[in-house]
Amino acid sequence: MTTLRQYLDSTACEEPLRDLIELIAYQAIPIREAFIENQSYAGTENVYGEEQAAMDTWADQHLIGVLGESGMVKAIASEEQEDIVLFPDAMGDYSVVMDPLDGSSLIQVNLAVGTIIGIYPGGNALKKGEELTAALYMLYGPLTVLTLTVGEGVCTFALNKEGIYVLMEKDIRMPEGKLYGTGGLKNEWPQEHMDFISLCEQLGGKIRYSGSFVADFHQILKYGGIYCYPALNGKPTGKLRLVYEANPIGFIAAQAGGAITDGRRNLLEVQPEKPDHRTPIYVGSRRMIDLVQSCMKSL
Ligand code: AHM
Ligand code: MG
């Protein structure tokens, strides 16, 4: 049995980064416990005018509180906050980007949701995805599973009965599978996305889409294929966010041999313009990403 700490101690990560990753990963325990108390909608809106489930607010406040008190981070960019939260007196020299509770519309129907985290060195949270030093997500399904990269490949860990993360799988490679899933209303898809989805169907693809990015990506990581949230007619940047969602998940995908694109360029090379920078997202197996890019370039 290898614990999360033992794994981190076997990597080239510096000690403060190991401590920060552990601190964040174990917040899965209070977040999971809070689901029971926070099922109802909070009646407040986030900066995008979306209704916040009580859990969104709870997880956001909880993580900001814990990270702020830890003194380990200089900045937090959260999907639930309009502005980057700064901790100028922190001793630690990292910044965190996060979607505290991704897939929150699924909480009330008890489907799997998650927490997405990216960690940058230094106090600037608005950096390209390729500059991440670590990325992780916690998936709250039947098991609580942590998927982690510190730039040395991708590992998964499961929380055991004692509340300790134990290694499930290391050096995960994303296979060339045939799963595909896509967000957005079909009648709002641009023609190029429509064509790509038809191609997936012609190639014998199998549709899988729950509405939780973390859960939908996790099965792509394991089985291979592609997750898409496209540009929409009248909404060319789509729905999902570069900083909180695309970059950490894309960094994990790339570390597992996959890739992420907006259809034309590697999203990990895109400089975020603002915290809530939105982008179309295609993430998955390398050949599927090549295929989507060739479809979109040929137009
Ligand atoms: P959230 O971060 O507010 O939960 O929104 C992001 C979610 C993703 O998890 C998911 O892939 C997508 O939005 C689902 O959107 P849709 O319901 O339009 O398919
Ligand atoms: Mg989200």
Q: Residue 40 pLDDT > 80, yes or no?
A: no
For residue 212, the ligand 1 atom closest to its alpha carbon is 9
Q: What is the pLDDT of residue 299?
A: 52
Least distant ligand from the CA of 116: 2
Residues contacting ligand 1 via CB (< 6 Å): 79, 99, 102-104, 183, 211-213, 216, 229, 239
Domains and CATH numbers, the chain: 4-169 (3.30.540.10), 179-297 (3.40.190.80)
Alpha carbon of 122 to ligand 2 centroid (Å):
24
Q: How many CB atoms lie within 10 A of CB 228?
A: 25
What lies within 8 Å, CB to CB, of 26 at 6+ separation is 163, 165
Band (289; pLDDT cuts 50, 70, 90) = very high
> In angstroms, rounded to a whole number, what is the distance separating the alpha carbons of residues 93 and 91?
7
If you measure from the C-alpha of residue 90 to the centroid of ligand 2, how many angstroms do you get, rounded to a whole number?
27
The 10s digit of each residue's pLDDT in 133-160 is 999 999 999 999 999 999 999 999 999 9
What integer is the mean pLDDT of 17-46? 88
Banded model confidence at residue 298, pLDDT cuts 50, 70, 90 = low
Mean pLDDT confidence for 256-276: 97
Tell me the CA–centroid distance for residue 2 and ligand 1, in Å: 33
Instruction: Phi first, then psi: give them for residue 136, nearest 5 degrees.
Output: -155, 160
Share of the chain above pLDDT 70, in %: 98
Instruction: Report d(CA 206, CA 165) in Å as an integer.
Output: 32
Ligand 1 centre distance from Cα of residue 14 (Å): 34
181 or 53, which is more confident?
181
In which band, very low, low, confident or very high, does the pLDDT at 42 lie, cut at 50, 70 and 90? confident
Quick check: 49 pLDDT over 90?
no
- Banded model confidence at residue 37, pLDDT cuts 50, 70, 90: confident
For residue 161, name the pLDDT band (cuts at 50, 70, 90): very high
Average pLDDT (25-53) is 82
* Residue nearest (by alpha carbon) to ligand 1 atom 15: 211
pLDDT tens profile 176-222: 999 999 999 999 999 999 999 999 999 999 999 999 999 999 999 99
Query: What tens digit of pLDDT does each residue of 71-84 get?
Result: 999 999 999 999 99
Give per-residue pLDDT as tens, 85-111.
999 999 999 999 999 999 999 998 999
123/3 Cα distance (integer angstroms): 29
Q: What is the pLDDT of residue 54?
A: 86
Mean of pLDDT over the chain: 95
Distance of alpha carbon 251 from alpha carbon 254, whole angstroms: 5
Q: What is the pLDDT of residue 250?
A: 98
Does residue 184 contact residue 230 with C-beta atoms inside 8 Å?
yes
The whole-model pTM stands at 0.96
**Which pLDDT belongs to residue 35?**
87
Look up residue 213 and give its amino acid: F
Contact between 60 and 112 under an 8 Å Cβ cutoff? The reply is: no
- Band of pLDDT at residue 38, cut at 50, 70 and 90: confident
Give me the pLDDT at residue 108, please: 85
